[in-house]
Amino acid sequence: MKIKHLLLALSFVTAPLGHAQTLESASVDTLSTVEEELQTDDSNFTFTESQLGENDDITPEVIRISSNSNVYASQIGWTWSGIWFKYRALDNAYNDVYMNGVQVNNPENGRFSYSTIGGMNDAVRNKDDVSPFEDNNFSFSAMGGSTNYNLRASQMPAGHKVTLSGTNRNYTLRAMYSYGSGLSKDGWAFFGTVGYRWANMRTAAIKGTFYNSLAYFLAAQKVFNEKHSLSLATWGSPTERATAGASTDEAYWLANDYQYNPYWGYQNGQKRASRVVNTFEPSVLATWDFNIKEDQKLTTSFFIKNAKYKSTKLNYSGTNPHPDYWKRFPSYNYDVWGREGDYNYDNPAFWAAYDNWQSEPYRQINFDELYFANTQLNKIGADAIYWIEARHNNHLMTNLSSTYDWNLKWGSRLSAGIQLLSNRGSHYRTIEDLLGGQYFHNTNTYLVGDYQETSTEAMYDVNHGYQKIIEGDRYGYDYDLWNQDLRLWASFNLEKGITHSFVAAKMGGRRMWREGFMRNGLFQDNSYGKSGKARFLDGGFKAGTTINLGKGHAITAGLGYELRAPGAAVAFMCPEMNNDYVQDLSNEKVFSSDLGYAINNKWFRLNVNGYYYRISDANEWQQFYNDDSNSFSYNSLTGVEKAYMGVELGLRIKINSSLDVLALGTYSEAKYTDNTDVYWMSSTTGKINEEICHNKGMRQSGTPLAAASLGVNYRINRWYLNLTGNYYDRIYLSYSTNMRYENNLKNAGRFHAGEYDVPEQAKGNGGFMLDASIGRQFFVWHNPLSVNLQLCNLTNRRNITTGGYEQSRSNYSVTETEGSGTEVTTSPRTYNFEKNAKKFYAQGFNFMLNLNYRF
Amino acid sequence: MKKQSYIIALVAGVFAFASCQDKDWDIPEGIPYGNNSLEAGTTVTIKELQDTYASAISSDNYKQITDDLWLRCVVNGNDYGDNLYKQLSVQDETGGIIIGINGSDQGAFMPVGQKLLIRLKDLYIGGYGNQAQIGGLYNGGLGRMEITEWKQHVRLIMDGMAEAQDFGSMKVDTIDFDPNKTMAQQAGRVVRLSNVTISREGTPIIAPDDGSVSLVSNCVNRKLTGGNAGSKCVLRTSTYAAFKGVPVPTGPVELYGIATIYRGTWQILARTQSDLTWVK
């Protein structure tokens, strides 16, 4: 009897909420166990390993949207994961993630990294997803939706479970084991899971990569009585993985491989990856659930995470040693695009480069040569010119959260919460491997020439002088970024007549600062020590309603407006060098609206939604090599104006008890609505320049802006079969700001009669993909064994683009500065950067076999 | 209890299996640059080579070397300081010559002092402004050879290798610049200029790119006078040189560099900042 009370109490504590519930009763979503396993396992796989920012070249992470009430939102994460589909083309920063009510997004960039919960699928199955205009009892829902993971041990499934998987994707093998005790009579519950994912250089789907990830999750909960419960959870997934890079179509063609990866090479005949990511984000979450009264509860959580992130990269001070460096391509020597100025026709170098590319060692990194160069330089006491660097982005985050929830007797609910957050982001660079070299000096090589190598100006750290750097030493930059937030929110919903409505509001404050640990030679007075503190006050409101028209028909509507404080990641002009804030830094303004129509009956479930978001005064930040100034540059785009709009369709038709059909579709627009002011700083002068970026009309990249799918699900006698066809289109690549700077357009001869001829944004290929799944549940020793096989891209379409970016280089070189230096002369380059965007392509046919055994 | 033991063993096994894949890597053995299979045949000296092709050199023409000739030499200048661009300067006891190679970082692979065995057959030799140069064909004229071709024609000889003995006492040496010497006597050698004054036009750094001095192929030619400079001698420095920001001295100084000639004017190419002795 006691345990029954406890479970009753817990069910209240953890119950998900949403006006979606009004439409749930007639749902035709009756996933079989096998089907559910398939979807949850695979979606975890695809999201955590393929998409979520695990590759430095992939622009912002996708949102793992789901919804309890919307067919479209609940299915796209699973159905369109293979193409890196982004919900409403939004950056992951617009999706809020909570754990037991405490927000876990990194405040520095606003994002949550799903890779931190990879390999612990059984622990993160229990969650509450809400779309942007669904009310809930844990947050002011974000414009890209919100998710609250319930990590209480008592809510985890009891018993043992073993999962074994084989696939030909990022990893080859996966093994997971989990055990849940359930809630004991004396109020204790325990849960633990451990998982391991593995691939080596021989088995990984993409050459030159490997995957090595361990995951653990441990949770305990003590339910003291009907009023009080304490739970504790800790998890982490130490991971080591080699990443793959995007390349140009020319490289893919020459290598005859759409999965060509330029980031690896041979050393002593063995494959070696140059870009290896090591992550470990041990986290601890403590939660006190207090049932104040039968209809009131208070959930208080404390979260702490000590995240370590290290990403290696081949760096150099000599010639670029990357095999897909533009000067190594045949088209560097001969104008394959047939423009004017084709003066290198019949150049033997064109054919020599072509012949070279036929050899695999040539189109990969030649580590042996890099070592040899460094050891030769050792003989004359010179600095190493090639090395592997490691960029560290560590975070120590603490967050205290308290949420009050009052289930009012007259059919309404009031929720409110407070969050106190502190995050210290530590950013520095170390030498991982000197590749046979002895040392090099901690100097800004971009400055050497303008300043003498030993000059104070060229020193990265004046406090240590002309300093020799060896393996393990920090060099280049070393600084902390601090974010501290105080946030309040409240939500009130009301059932009245045929309507279910809610209003929500939030407000908060943020302060941030930088603390530098190197005194940069160009900024000796404002690089070492703490910067001034920047403070922002933000907030917003949101309202939504569902009007039930009867017979399963309903109209939904939502409207919101909010101010979002910038994160420290975009707040500083050049955090690697000094303490200066971006000029004109301000809150981002977000208007959001959504209108939907839903039908929900026994055989038919339809959602049609239209949305319009407008973002104003946003801040963006980039760094890249600027050809026109012959220097590395730090670029801040301020006052960014964007609009997101589109229509979405989700339809599930139940033909009979075994067969249903699912249709999904969206057509959207996500683009810059005006040109943007830019401040950029040159690493060779330290001076800030003003520019205008002609980015009006540029689209959000790395996601199809049009997608559709039609799928059939068949379930009978514990079998589950699915066949889904997907079509993707309007895939844009990340545009180059540098190519569209006003002065650079003039240099490129793209200014005529007062008009700028702005280059079209590069696009990727869309296309059709066919996926299938088959699953069956058996009983072995009276316990269920689920077997799932997922077959993706059955037609082996390998030329569908999943993302990429335009290169930031110019089609001309600045040859001479005349007179005052304000006018330049240029000479055209044979190589055409505008035609050579770097792209990622979807994997061809791939599969995943999954076995789950519960006992 | 037995089940728990299995589970503990499973978990322990997973932890044990999860070892690091990106291991500590050993330094590769061998010489991955050049053609290690080359064995010297009939060798010539740089002087003999220049004498053989003297007419092609003096007329700014070129010829392909068709005989199976081999050259033993030592590197005395390269692109380490970013002043020699895609050029290697080599010498033996008899003279020096420039080799044009379409590749960068030659200074790292072939530092000053590196012994080279070069198979000359099929390469081109000729003159550019009367400066002797070995290279390849480019747009119908003498230019740089492709790096892949160069690697097929060169073998790096390390101290301690048996082949090093064939070089005898060959090493990089410095001679005093003499404006009256011929190209064959002095070009491609490291020379010393003493008590010379460097012209100070424009911004007073060695190679300004701010428009204050006119550039020739992205280089600044500063006239050298006094001392042993003679009347037609310049210090030629690229605006991409690592030491382009070195201040121009006000008085006479000593400097070093590779001597090259261009249509009767000696051009001195400092290799690194240390060739400019007034810089501390």
Tell me the pLDDT of chain A averaged across its residues.
88
Give the pLDDT score at A106. Answer: 94
Residue A560 CA: distances (Å) to CA of A432, A536, A592: 47, 20, 5
- For residues A458 and A440, is the Cβ–Cβ distance under 8 A? no
Question: Rounded CA gap, A649 and A769, in Å?
Answer: 19
Bridge-partner residues for A544, per DSSP? A502, A558
Verify whether the Cβ–Cβ distance A372 to B109 is below 8 Å: yes
Query: Which residue of B19, B79, B105, B212 is the best one to mutate when testing the A interface, meaning the one whose CB has the most A CBs within 10 A?
Result: B105
Verify whether the Cβ–Cβ distance B211 to A382 is below 8 Å: no
Give the pLDDT score at A827. Answer: 81
Question: Rounded CA gap, A400 and A510, in Å?
Answer: 15
Nearest Cα of chain B lies from the Cα of A648 at a distance, in angstroms, of 44
pLDDT over 60 (residue A39): no
Chain A residue with CA closest to B114: the answer is A376
User: Are B183 and B264 in the same domain?
Assistant: yes
Query: For the residues A763-774, what does the mean pLDDT come to?
Result: 94
Question: Rounded CA gap, B157 and B163, in Å?
Answer: 7
HSE-CB of A692 using CA atoms within 13 angstroms: 9
Question: Rounded CA gap, A358 and A374, in Å?
Answer: 27
Give the pLDDT score at A80. Answer: 87
The DSSP code for A122 is: G
User: Are B145 and B178 in the same domain?
Assistant: no
pLDDT over 80 (residue A8): no
Question: Rounded CA gap, B211 and A494, in Å?
Answer: 73
User: Are B247 and B163 in the same domain?
Assistant: no
Of A66-75, A154-163, A253-262, B172-181, least confident by mean pLDDT is A66-75
pLDDT above 70 as % of chain A: 90
User: Which of B102, B136, B167 is at the close of a domain?
Assistant: B167
Query: For the residues A249-269, what does the mean pLDDT come to?
Result: 96
pLDDT tens track for A700-720 = 998 999 999 999 999 988 899
In degrees and rounded to multiples of 5, residue B131 shows phi and psi of -85, 125
Residue A828 CA: distances (Å) to CA of A86, A694, A815, A817: 38, 22, 10, 16
Residue B20 within any structural domain of the chain:
no
Verify whether the Cβ–Cβ distance B14 to A214 is below 8 Å: yes
Query: For the residues A108-126, what does the mean pLDDT come to?
Result: 89
**pTM given for the model:** 0.90
* Chain B residues with CB-CB distance to A449 below 8 A: 82, 240-245
User: Are B69 and B161 in the same domain?
Assistant: yes
* Chain B residues with CB-CB distance to A210 below 8 A: 21-22
User: Are B157 and B237 in the same domain?
Assistant: no
User: Are B178 and B256 in the same domain?
Assistant: yes
Verify whether the Cβ–Cβ distance B21 to A210 is below 8 Å: yes
* Chain A residues with CB-CB distance to B122 below 8 A: none
Question: Rounded CA gap, B85 and B104, in Å?
Answer: 8
pLDDT over 70 (residue A26): no
- For residues A356 and B148, is the Cβ–Cβ distance under 8 A? yes
Contacts of A5 (CB under 8 A, 6+ apart): A226
The enclosing H or E element of B147 equals helix B147-153
Verify whether the Cβ–Cβ distance A240 to B20 is below 8 Å: yes
User: Are B64 and B156 in the same domain?
Assistant: yes
Query: For the residues A140-150, what does the mean pLDDT come to?
Result: 93
User: Are B197 and B141 in the same domain?
Assistant: no
> Across the A/B interface, how many CB contacts are shorter than 8 Å?
126
Verify whether the Cβ–Cβ distance A449 to B33 is below 8 Å: no
Write out A699-721 in H/E/C secondary structure. ECCCCEEEEEEEEEEEEECCEEE
pLDDT over 90 (residue A3): no
pLDDT tens track for A333-381 = 888 877 655 555 567 778 889 999 999 999 999 999 999 999 999 999 9
Give the pLDDT score at B7. Answer: 59
* Chain A residues with CB-CB distance to B26 below 8 A: 268
Q: Which residue has the higher pLDDT, A348 or B275?
A: B275
Verify whether the Cβ–Cβ distance B20 to A276 is below 8 Å: no
* Chain B residues with CB-CB distance to A443 below 8 A: none
Closest by Cβ to A449, choosing from B17, B33, B244: B244
Query: Which residue of A274, A369, A432, A822 is the best one to mutate when testing the B interface, meaning the one whose CB has the most B CBs within 10 A?
Result: A369
Contacts of A708 (CB under 8 A, 6+ apart): A663, A664, A665, A666, A726, A727
User: Are B158 and B268 in the same domain?
Assistant: no
Verify whether the Cβ–Cβ distance B11 to A194 is below 8 Å: yes
Q: Which domain holds residue B54?
A: 42-167
pLDDT tens track for A393-424 = 999 999 999 999 999 877 799 999 999 999 99
Closest by Cβ to B108, choosing from A367, A373, A820: A373
Give the pLDDT score at A340. Answer: 59
Residue B3 within any structural domain of the chain:
no
pLDDT over 70 (residue B19): no
User: Are B58 and B155 in the same domain?
Assistant: yes
DSSP secondary structure letters along A669-680: EEEE-S-EEEEE
Q: Which residue has the higher pLDDT, A315 or A820?
A: A315
- Which pLDDT band, with edges at 50, 70 and 90, does A825 fall under? confident
Residue B70 within any structural domain of the chain:
yes
- Which pLDDT band, with edges at 50, 70 and 90, does A42 fall under? very low
pLDDT over 60 (residue A10): no
pLDDT above 90 as % of chain A: 73
Query: For the residues A823-840, what does the mean pLDDT come to?
Result: 85
Nearest Cα of chain A lies from the Cα of B82 at a distance, in angstroms, of 10
Residue B75 is part of a domain; what is its CATH number? 2.40.50.140
When divided into structural domains, chain B yields a total of: 2
Verify whether the Cβ–Cβ distance A448 to B242 is below 8 Å: yes
Give the pLDDT score at A52. Answer: 36
Chain A residue with CA closest to B237: the answer is A449
* Chain B residues with CB-CB distance to A379 below 8 A: 111, 113
Verify whether the Cβ–Cβ distance A372 to B215 is below 8 Å: no
pLDDT over 90 (residue A325): yes
Question: Rounded CA gap, A232 and A691, in Å?
Answer: 52
Spell out a b/e string for A627-657, using b for 16 or more CB atoms within 10 Å of the CB, else e.
bbbbbbbbbbbbbbbbbbbbebbbbbebeee
The tokens describing A53, both together, are 């920012």
- For residues A774 and A804, is the Cβ–Cβ distance under 8 A? no
Give B117: exposed, middle or buried? Use CB within 10 Å, 0-12, 13-18, 19+. Answer: buried
Verify whether the Cβ–Cβ distance A349 to B102 is below 8 Å: yes
Give the pLDDT score at A349. Answer: 79
CATH topology of domain A2-318+387-854: Maltoporin; Chain A (2.40.170)
Query: For the residues A440-451, what does the mean pLDDT come to?
Result: 86
Verify whether the Cβ–Cβ distance B22 to A373 is below 8 Å: no
User: Which of B117, B139, B167 is at the close of a domain?
Assistant: B167
Closest by Cβ to A817, choosing from B19, B113, B210: B210
In degrees and rounded to multiples of 5, residue A505 shows phi and psi of -145, 155
User: Are B80 and B117 in the same domain?
Assistant: yes
Closest by Cβ to B109, choosing from A376, A433, A449: A376
Query: For the residues A297-302, what does the mean pLDDT come to?
Result: 97
Give the pLDDT score at A37. Answer: 54
Domains of chain A by residue range: 2-318+387-854
ipTM for the assembly: 0.91
Query: Tokens 């009669």 — which residue?
Result: A753
Verify whether the Cβ–Cβ distance B148 to A356 is below 8 Å: yes
User: Which of B145, B167, B189 is at the close of a domain?
Assistant: B167
pLDDT tens track for B217-264 = 889 999 999 999 999 999 999 998 989 989 999 989 999 999 999 999
Q: Which residue has the higher pLDDT, A173 or A449?
A: A173
Map residue A253 onto helix, strand or coil: helix
Helices (H) and strands (E) in chain B, counts: 6, 17
Nearest Cα of chain A lies from the Cα of B262 at a distance, in angstroms, of 23
Question: Rounded CA gap, A106 and A100, in Å?
Answer: 16
Chain A residue with CA closest to B33: the answer is A369
Give the pLDDT score at B8. Answer: 63
Question: Rounded CA gap, B222 and B268, in Å?
Answer: 10
- Which pLDDT band, with edges at 50, 70 and 90, does A576 fall under? very high
Query: For the residues A280-303, what does the mean pLDDT come to?
Result: 96
pLDDT tens track for A634-691 = 999 999 999 999 999 999 999 998 999 999 999 999 999 999 999 999 888 888 999 9
Verify whether the Cβ–Cβ distance A175 to B14 is below 8 Å: yes
pLDDT over 50 (residue A573): yes
Closest by Cβ to A196, choosing from B18, B108, B209: B18
